[in-house]
Amino acid sequence: NAGVMQNPRHLVRRRGQEARLRCSPMKGHSHVYWYRQLPEEGLKFMVYLQKENIIDESGMPKERFSAEFPKEGPSILRIQQVVRGDSAAYFCASSLEGAGTDTQYFGPGTRLTVL
């Protein structure tokens, strides 16, 4: 049973470009969570999605950031017009039940570097 997959593992963008981060949850999981980890800091919750629905986006910046989890395909975290402060590791997790009801399984992360 494959774990949570994230791609790309490393992404380099110049300021002003767009970054698209993909997350494929574990088989059978319909709940996806995105976290951001700035260098030398802890994990910060960004957004919680179910298939085709955003359940909680309270941790996501209001501008430039968006997330989706379509009926088919991976979850996408999109960052428009990236700035240097967006450089971080972005982790995706998935669970079988809802948030807090079951274990979250994490992917290996995407490390975004903004030049």
Extract the tokens encoding 71: 């009926």
Residue 55 interacts with another protein (CB under 8 A)? yes
Is the Cβ of residue 13 or residue 34 nearer to another protein in the bound state? Answer: 34
Nearest approach, Cβ of residue 47 and another protein (Å): 9
Residue 68 interacts with another protein (CB under 8 A)? no
Composition of the chain by helix, strand, coil, percent to 5 = 5, 50, 50
3-state secondary structure of 94: strand
Residue 25 interacts with another protein (CB under 8 A)? no
Residue 35 interacts with another protein (CB under 8 A)? yes
Extract the tokens encoding 61: 């910046």
Expressed in angstroms, the distance from the first to the final Cα of the chain is: 37
Extract the tokens encoding 2: 């494959």
Is the Cβ of residue 64 or residue 105 nearer to another protein in the bound state? Answer: 105
Of the ranges 14-22, 53-61, 63-71, 78-86, which one interacts with another protein (CB under 8 A)?
53-61
- Rounded-to-integer distance, Cα 84 and Cα 51, Å: 31
Residue 34 interacts with another protein (CB under 8 A)? no
